[in-house]
Structure 1
Amino acid sequence: MYTTYSTFLLAGRTIHCINFDPTSFTDADLLWLPHHQQLSEAGRKRKADHLAGRIAAFHALNRQAVPGIGSSGEPLWPAGVSGSISHSGTQAIAICAEKGIVGIDCEAIIDEREAHEIQNGVIDAQEAQLLVASHLPFDQAFTLTFSAKESLFKALFPQVQAWMGFDSARVTALAAHTLTLTLTRPLPPFAQNQLFTAHWCQHDATVVTLICAA
């Protein structure tokens, strides 16, 4: 599969980025992955997305390891490392850290009509008012909220080990480069009303959100 590698900074952290051409993917490309047999039944798009994400993670790990696949589909990072992977369209990104929690997500801007159609499953009335008050275009503000919640759940999952719906956290502030998320229920070991800061940027045609905490 044809790929190009680059990096960019978000909140002072290096984000490893792979742009890829899914039309150039072949099943033989998967043989690079130690866990390639686990993907034998996956569809072509899933295989290409997964491979691009693992290549990005390989760079994030200083080209020393490739994360495997956990029982819930999560990446399995080396001992002592926290990491996160995301992909959207023809781009995959990854980040890792030696301590704390980390979650990253990239999303293409969701069309405003679609955003209004699905918003009740993602945000509540209080959040909707906050997004309007942010003065960002609704499609961008909604996509940022969707993405930030995805980043948060990725960051928390290694410790929570449970499914988290979009109503598990509420966006309580949205600024030029950050969002504040507040847990609406306990997610042990994290407490109800615990706050998390998500940093965000627009990168090419996508928004990227990042949560890093000690």
Structure 2
Amino acid sequence: MIADLLPAPVASAWRRDDTEPVALYPEEAAAVARAVPRRQREFATVRLCARLALRRLGLPQAPLAPGVRGAPRWPHGVAGSMTHCAGYRAAALARTTDVLSLGIDAEPAEPLPEGVLDGVSLPGERGHLDELAARLPGVPWDRLLFSAKESVFKTWYPLTGRELGFDEASLVFEPAPDPRGHTGTFTARLLVPGPVTGGVRRDRFTGRWLVREGLVLTAIVLTR
């Protein structure tokens, strides 16, 4: 499903469970040696997805050990993003000659726990979600906002190397008709100076979203 949100230069793969055996590199295994079995399994499966995406780019497999904040250290010349939630794991990768940065996120299509929305949103965003909910009540808009902000952060961080707070980007969603489920686009306006790439300051990220088969998926791809 994540491929439905990604342009042609991006390769992706996804799995709904952790049933396939995955051989981890030593540095990968060391990163989760003390984790609970469930975490070890999802860690391995999402790396299986990343290896499949590398293969689709015509690139060799490589260890994908986590670095700062747990983000994977991608091979030279590769931009990528991983995500996992209950019932879904995915990875999306591209060559840096095509893509500056990208971010994907998956979440269960359920409302956020009580009180979480206020901590991850701005007042204007909450009003926007109320308007959207009146139009399309079948979409968990609060969860979609959370997912889209995760994709914003995953896109932002490789370009800046610094944290981005939930209150440092303001999002607007635009639904689009789709017979398979709810989908659309979103725009994130950065409320802090955006990264400068190729002499251009990027103060807005645009992405795509969908809600289908019990999942919320979001993706941002900054192409060159």
Matches within 5 A, 1:1-214: 8-13=3-8, 14-21=11-18, 31-35=23-27, 36-62=29-55, 64-66=60-62, 67-98=64-95, 99-111=99-111, 114=113, 116-134=114-132, 135-137=135-137, 140-176=140-176, 177-189=184-196, 194-214=203-223
Is contact 1:105-1:210 (8 Å) kept? yes
Query: Equivalent residue for 2:180?
Result: none
Cα distance between partner residues in 2 of 1:202 and 1:33: 34
Tell me which moved more, 62-71 or 34-43: 62-71
Structure 2: runs of 5 or more not aligned: 177-183
Deviates more, 1:77-86 or 1:33-42: 33-42
RMSD (Å), alpha carbons: 2.6
Structure with the greater relative contact order (CA < 8 A, sep ≥ 6): 1 or 2? 2
Distance in 2 (alpha carbons) for counterparts of 1:105 and 1:56: 14
Which segments of structure 1 move beyond 3 Å, counting only runs of 4 or more?
A: 11-15, 187-193
Tell me the CA shift for residue 145 of structure 1: 0.9
Residue identity opposite 1:62 in structure 2: R
The number of equivalent residue pairs is 202
Q: After the TM superposition, which of the residue ranges 170-179 and 187-196 deviates more from structure 2?
A: 187-196
Q: Distance in 1 between matches of 2:102 and 2:192?
A: 20
Q: Distance in 2 between matches of 1:100 and 1:108?
A: 28
Do the aligned residues in 1 keep the contact of 2:109 with 2:216 (CA within 8 Å)? yes
Whether the aligned pair in 1 keeps the contact of 2:156 and 2:195 (CA below 8 Å) is: no
1:100 is displaced (CA, Å) by 1.5
Q: Unaligned regions of 5+ residues in structure 1, if any?
A: 1-5
What secondary structure does 1:32 align onto?
coil
**TM-score, length-normalised on structure 2?**
0.80
In structure 2, relative to structure 1, the CA distance for the partners of 1:12 and 1:189 (3 Å cut) is closer
**Separation (CA, whole Å) in 1 of partners of 2:155 and 2:202:** 16
